[in-house]
Chains A and B, each alone.
Chain A
Amino acid sequence: MSLDNQSPEEVLSEGERVMNICNACRYCEGFCAVFPAMEKRLQFGSGDIRYLANLCHDCNECYYACQYAPPHEFQINVPKALSAVRQQSYKVYGWPGIMVSINANPIYTLIMSVIVIPLLFLLAGVLTKGMGGLTTAYGDEQGAFYQLVSHSMMAWGFGMVGIFIIIAMIVGWFKFRNDTDPPDKLMWPDVKQAMLDAITLRYLGSDGDGCTYPDERHSTLRRSFHHFTFYGFMLCFAATSVATLYHYLFGWIAPYPFLSLPVILGTLGGIGLIIGPIGLLYLKRVRDVEPTEPVQTKMDITLLVLLLTISVTGLLLLFLRETAAMGIILLVHLGLVMGLFLTMPYGKFVHGLYRFGALIRFAKEERES
C-alpha cells in the first residue's frame, strides 16, 4: 500500500501498529535512535509516532533484518511506514495552510519550482529588458548581474521571501516541539549531541559500515553523497553570506574574481551540490522498491532536482558570466533559487529541521534515562 490511497489516520495507525510489534521484539535496538526511543514508551500517541518517524533516517537496516518483513503476515516495514508518517508530518507542521495545500503534490511543486518560476523570471526579463538586453554580454567590471536585475530588486525580493520562509520554518519548528512533548527548554548538551549526530550522519552508519541502501548490502555511498549535498549547500550558503557582507560592509560589488572567497566557496559548494544530488538520485533509482514509500521518493526527487539545477546554473553563470548567455542563465538561476525558497518549508528540505529537533529530543531522553 502506498500513501496515495491511505488517509492520514491510516498512515498514523499503521505507524502505531508497526511500533507496537517492534516494541514487543526489540531485535533492532542496536541499529539507530528510533528503537531506543520507542522502548521508552509503552503507548504511541500521534506525536510519538511523528517524533519516531522524524528520527528515522530511512537507512533500511531494520527492514532487511526483520523476521516479520513482508510476506510475513505481520507485514512489518518500518522504513516505509515511518516514511509515510514523516511525509505527512511535514503537512501537519507546515505553515501557513495555504502554502501547504499548494505544495501538497511534490510533482506539482517540482513543475512549479523548476519550470514555471524560472520561466516567469525569464518572461519578466524579456518584458523589462527586451530580448536584446537579455542577450547582451557585460564585463565583470560593470557589475554585470545588476545590469539586468538591480541589486535592490534582488535584495528586496529574495530578502522578503527569505524572511517569510524563516518565519514559516520557525512556526514549523515550534509545532514540532509542541507535538511530541510538553514544551521544555533546549539544553546545550542535547543540542550539541544532536549537532554531532547530524553533521556526522551517525545513523547512516558512521561506524564505518554505512547502511543497507540502496539494497541489503552495506554501503557508505548514501552517507557520502548526503555529505556532498549537505556540505555543498552549506558552502553555497556561506558564499552568499560572505558576498552579502562584501556588498554592504565594504561596498564591493559582484561579480567577484575567481579567486575571491565567495567564488571559491560557491564553486566548491556548487561542485558538492552536483556530485551529491546526482549520487542520491542514482541511489533512488536503483533502490529496492519494498522499503520505499513512493510519495516520499517524489518529494526527495523534487528537492534533489532543484539543488542540482541551481548548482549547474550557478556554475554556468560563473564560467559564462562575460558572455551573451549570462542574462538567460542568471534569470533561470534566480528563478530556481526562488523556487527553492518558496517550496522549502513544505518539502523535503524540512527533514533537516525536524530530524534535528528529533535528535535533540532523543539526546534529552537518553540523558535523562
Chain B
Amino acid sequence: MQHDIIYDVLIVGGGNAGLCAALTAREAGASVLVVEAAPKHSRGGNSRHVRNLRCMHDAPEGVLLDSYSFSEYWEDLQQVTGGNTNEELARLTLQESGECFRWMMKQGVRFQPALSGTLQLSRTNAFFLGGGKAMLNSYYHKAERIGIDIEYDTAVTELTIEDGKFHSAMVSHQRQTIQIKAKALVVAAGGYQANIEWLRESWGDAADNFIIRGTPYDDGKILKMLMNTGAKTVGDPAQCHAIAVDARSPKFDGGIVTRVDCVSLGIVVNRDAVRFYDEGEDFWPKRYAIWGRLIAQQPGQIAYSIIDSKSEGLYLPPLTAPVTATSISELATKLNLDPIVLEKTIVAYNVAVKAGDFNHTVLDNCQTQDLTPAKSHWARRLDTPPFFAYPLRPGITFTYLGVTVNNKARMIMQNGEPADNIYAAGEIMAGNILGKGYLAGIGMTIGTTFGRIAGKEAAHSVIG
C-alpha cells in the first residue's frame, strides 16, 4: 500500500456506490484509492446481496420490458415514502436511473431478463446476470484495468475533518495504522444495521434478536465519525427496514435465501401461540417488509408461520426444512409452544374460516369471519397433516439514518453549508430520498446515481 502519495480522491467503501464513484472519478482523470473494510471474498457490502436496479424507461430497452415512466416511478416512490423524501434529489435519482442502466452495461455489468419468482418486476427492474456479486466483479475488473488502487481488509479508523474540509484518513491495514492523504473524500460506507450496539439505542434488548441480512461490515463507524465532525443527518434513527426471515438463519450475511414465503398461506403465531396480525392482508411481496417490525414487537422477537400439507409446493422453497409434525400438539411441542393454547388458536381460526375459492395468485375470497385479527385472503383451514412450521425473526436490511447531501452529492454540514471536499453516496445518504419504506431495486438506483455524481464532482473539484 502506497501511503507517501496524495490521492486525488479517496473512496471509503467498495460497494456499488463506491465503485461507481471510483470508476467515474478515474475516467475523469483523477487518481483514486478505494479502501474496502472487507477482505476480497466479501467485498462490496450489501451490494453483494442485491439483484436488480429499478429504472425508468419510456420504451422497451434491453431486458426492460414495456415502459416505466418518470411519473409512474415518482408515484411509486411517493407511495412507499409517504412523501418523506427530498423532492429535488428524488427527481434527480429517477431521471438518472435510465442512464444508470446504460452506464452499468458500459462498465461490463451484464443483465438478464427477469425469470421465475421475479416476473412481477420485469417491467420496472433490470436484473443483474448472476446477482450483485457478479455485478461487483465486473466493476472491480474494470477498476483494475483502468488503474484504480484498491485495498481490501482496510478499515478507516479516523477521519481528519476540520470545518467541513477533509485532510486525511487513518486506516488499519495488515495490522498497521497508516495515514492516507487525499484531496477529496467520497464516503460510500453503508448504514449501521450490522452494529447491534447502535441498534440497541432505538430497540433496546430486542436488537439482540435481530438477524442482519447483509454484510457484517456495515457497522456505521464512518457515519458516526461524520456525525461527530458536524455532518447534518437525515432519516429517522429509530427506523430500519426489516422483513420476516427464518429464525435459523445465520446472524449475518444470510441474504436472500433467509426469506420465508409461506406466511400468507397459513397463520402466524407468537411465542404465546396466539395470532397477532392479518396474514392475508395483501400479496406477500407487498407485505413482507412490515412483518419484520411486527415480529420485532412480539415477545422474544419470535414468531412461527404454520401451514398444512395443502400449501406444499405453493411457495418458493426455503433455505431450511420446516419443523414437521402429524398433529398440532406435536408441532407445538417441537416449537416449544403451549400445545393447549396453539390448539385453541387453530380451532378458533379453523371455525372462523369461510368457504371460498382458494387461489393464491389473486386476492381471493377465502377469509375469516368474526375473528380478531382477521385473515382477509387465502384463509383455509389447517386440517391436513403433516403440519409445517417456520420460526421467524426480524431480518434487518438497512437503516434510514444518514448524512444529508445536495444535488452534487456534497455532504451538508449542520450549519447548512456544503462540506468543502466531502461527498457521500449509497446507503449512507439514501435516507435523503428514501425517508421511509422501500421500493425493490431503488437502493441500487440511488447508489449508482449518487456514486456517479460524487465521483464526477470530486474529480472535477480536484483537477478542474
A-side interface residues toward B, CB under 8 Å? 20-21, 23-31, 36, 39, 42, 61-62, 64-74, 209, 216-217
Contacts and interface: CB of A to CB of B under 8 A. Distances in A.
Interface residues of chain A: helix, strand, loop or mixed (majority) = loop
B209 interface: no
A26 B130 contact: no
B132 A67 contact: yes
A188 B51 CA distance: 37
Contacts of A68: 255, 257
Contacts of A21: 257, 319
Nearest to A209: B110
A216 B137 contact: yes
Contacts of B319: 20-21, 24
A67 B133 contact: yes
A71 B216 CA distance: 14
B317 A27 contact: no
Interface in B275-333: 313, 316-319
Given A25-B257, A36-B115, A39-B116, A66 B316 contact: no
24 contacts: A21-B257, A21-B319, A23-B317, A24-B257, A26-B116, A26-B117, A27-B51, A27-B130, A29-B112, A29-B115, A30-B113, A30-B127, A30-B129, A30-B130, A31-B129, A61-B130, A67-B49, A67-B132, A67-B253, A69-B41, A70-B41, A71-B41, A216-B141, A217-B141
Contacts of B116: 26, 29, 39
B134 interface: yes
Contacts of B42: 72
B82 interface: no
Given A64-B137, A68-B255, 19 more contacts: A20-B319, A21-B257, A21-B319, A24-B256, A24-B318, A25-B255, A26-B115, A26-B316, A27-B256, A29-B115, A29-B116, A31-B129, A61-B130, A64-B134, A67-B48, A67-B131, A67-B132, A74-B250, A216-B141
B129 A25 contact: no
A65 B255 CA distance: 14
Contacts of B250: 73-74
Q: How large is the interface on B (under 10, 10 to 19, 20 to 34, 35 or more residues)?
A: 20 to 34
A56 to B, nearest CB: 15
Interface in B30-83: 41-42, 48-49, 51
A27 B133 CA distance: 10
B214 to A, nearest CB: 10
A30 B137 contact: no
A67 B129 contact: no
A38 to B, nearest CB: 10
A25 B255 CA distance: 9
Nearest to A76: B257
A169 B459 CA distance: 64
A39 B117 CA distance: 10
B16 to A, nearest CB: 14
Contacts of A62: 130
Contacts of B313: 42
A83 to B, nearest CB: 19
B328 to A, nearest CB: 24
B112 A30 contact: yes
A201 B313 CA distance: 34
B130 A31 contact: yes
B137 to A, nearest CB: 6
B130 A28 contact: yes
